[in-house]
Amino acid sequence: MTEKRTEISSVGEFGLINRIQENVSLNNTESVLGIGDDAALLDNGDDYTVMSSDMLLEGVHFDLSYMPLQHLGYKAVAVNVSDIAAMNAVPKQILLNIGVSNRFSVEALDVFYQGVKAACENYKIDLVGGDTCSSASGFVISATAVGSVKKDRVALRSGARQNDIICVTGDLGGAYLGLQVLEREKQVYLTNPEMQPQLDKYDYIVQRQLKPEARMDIVYELAEMNVKPTSMIDISDGLGSELLHLSKQSALGVQIYEDKLPVDKQTYDTGFELGIDSTTAVLNGGEDYELLFTINQDDFEKLKNHADIHFLGYMKEPKDGNMMVTKGDNVVPIVAQGWDHYRE
């Protein structure tokens, strides 16, 4: 008898996570929420303790030929803080594990940890531990961030209600196009090392790729304005995929308008230059680390003049599906083509 073999690519990253989740049960009463949101929730009296892990792998998530080690250290903290922010929580501690080969010097790791320290200071979070191993396959970084949120302030992916307004912070698609530019300049350099990379006119999108920020500023501002998002997720895999997470977990449809998508001019111009439609970069690119959230319509007045919050559309009935109204007034389905690690 031959053993059954299913390719991971046939179930995808989310299919794989679902399979893991199906075989997990939560046995400690403190474990309120496990797999399935941006972070887990542990009961801690008036608060939830919030925990989330993320990995960065050389050759998968970063290329050291253009990723400065200091930025990499910063990004390792920022992407973990972003998942804490996505629960409307405040980060407090981080554990950071590294796998590193003797290709790296002590000085190089000092530079990496300068970036870690800068991010910890910026997000007011303490590096409280980790693990150090030798690695035979490139630089491996894994971190677990721990945060806290008042129970009545937590924002889950599942909390959206029909007619809620879909909001997003910042601008989207830049990190993806920044990566395309860095890859292109690397190829130019490899072909002709005399050629120096020309990155000046791409400074903003390159920075979006190399030094993303978690939007803790928005978490604090929403608290000050007394607005509680009904649901929230951070944008690590592209807007399309994240909208589908909100839709699925809130059991609703979503409707967004293409002309409401926030795109920076440099993102738009670079997309045009590279033949990548900026809407495609917004929906399917990744690593913007902005916050996607929904609000009750009653809260719109408080946010409507915010310079960095954009209103994309509405939560609809489930039967309406997940749709985008294009600039040409066509209605097209939103599909998940975001960053799935096992997609072929």
83 is a contact residue toward Mg ion (CB under 5 A) = yes
Spatial distance between the Cα atoms of 303 and 225, rounded to a whole number of angstroms = 8
Continuous segment of H or E residues that includes residue 291: strand 291-295
Task: Choose the one of Mg ion, ligand ADP, none that binds residue 37, judging by a C-beta under 5 to 8 angstroms depending on kind.
Answer: ligand ADP
Continuous segment of H or E residues that includes residue 184: helix 174-191
Spatial distance between the Cα atoms of 30 and 24, rounded to a whole number of angstroms = 15
Distance of closest approach, residue 17 Cβ to ligand ADP, in angstroms: 4
Contact map string, positions 20 to 39, toward ligand ADP, x by CB under 6 A? x--------------xxxx-
Distance of closest approach, residue 259 Cβ to Mg ion, in angstroms: 26
Nearer to ligand ADP, 26 or 35 (CB): 35
237 is a contact residue toward Mg ion (CB under 5 A) = no
List, in order, residues 6 or more apart from 170 with CB less than 8 Å away.
Answer: 215, 262, 288, 290, 308
Task: Choose the one of ligand ADP, Mg ion, none that binds residue 251, judging by a C-beta under 5 to 8 angstroms depending on kind.
Answer: none
290 is a contact residue toward ligand ADP (CB under 6 A) = no
Kindly report the backbone phi and psi dihedral angles of residue 214, in degrees, each rounded to the nearest multiple of 5, phi listed first: -75, 140
Spatial distance between the Cα atoms of 94 and 97, rounded to a whole number of angstroms = 10
Task: Choose the one of ligand ADP, Mg ion, none that binds residue 26, judging by a C-beta under 5 to 8 angstroms depending on kind.
Answer: none
Spatial distance between the Cα atoms of 252 and 159, rounded to a whole number of angstroms = 10
Q: Is 249:232 a contact under the CB 8 Å cutoff? A: no
Bridge pairing between strands 126-134 and 90-100: parallel
Nearer to ligand ADP, 54 or 258 (CB): 54
Distance of closest approach, residue 192 Cβ to ligand ADP, in angstroms: 38
Burial of 272 (0-12, 13-18, 19+ CB in 10 A): exposed
Number of residues lying near ligand ADP (CB under 6 A): 9
Task: Choose the one of ligand ADP, Mg ion, none that binds residue 70, judging by a C-beta under 5 to 8 angstroms depending on kind.
Answer: none
Residue 116 carries which side chain, given as an amino acid letter?
A: V
List, in order, residues 6 or more apart from 330 with CB less than 8 Å away.
Answer: none
Task: Choose the one of Mg ion, ligand ADP, none that binds residue 54, judging by a C-beta under 5 to 8 angstroms depending on kind.
Answer: ligand ADP
17 is a contact residue toward ligand ADP (CB under 6 A) = yes
What sections of 39-173 are H helices per DSSP?
69-85, 106-122
Contact map string, positions 83 to 122, toward ligand ADP, x by CB under 6 A? x---------------------------------------
Nearer to ligand ADP, 1 or 20 (CB): 20
Spatial distance between the Cα atoms of 228 and 88, rounded to a whole number of angstroms = 8
234 is a contact residue toward Mg ion (CB under 5 A) = yes
If one counts every other C-beta atom within 10 angstroms of the C-beta of residue 279, the result is 21
Nearer to ligand ADP, 17 or 190 (CB): 17
**Residue of 37, 38, 288, 299 interacting with Mg ion (CB under 5 A):** 38
List, in order, residues 6 or more apart from 262 with CB less than 8 Å away.
Answer: 168, 170, 171, 172, 310
Residue nearest to Mg ion (CB): 38
288 is a contact residue toward ligand ADP (CB under 6 A) = no
Spatial distance between the Cα atoms of 127 and 73, rounded to a whole number of angstroms = 12
54 is a contact residue toward ligand ADP (CB under 6 A) = yes
236 is a contact residue toward ligand ADP (CB under 6 A) = yes
Residues that bind ligand ADP (CB under 6 A): 17, 20, 35-38, 54, 83, 236
Residues that bind Mg ion (CB under 5 A): 38, 83, 234
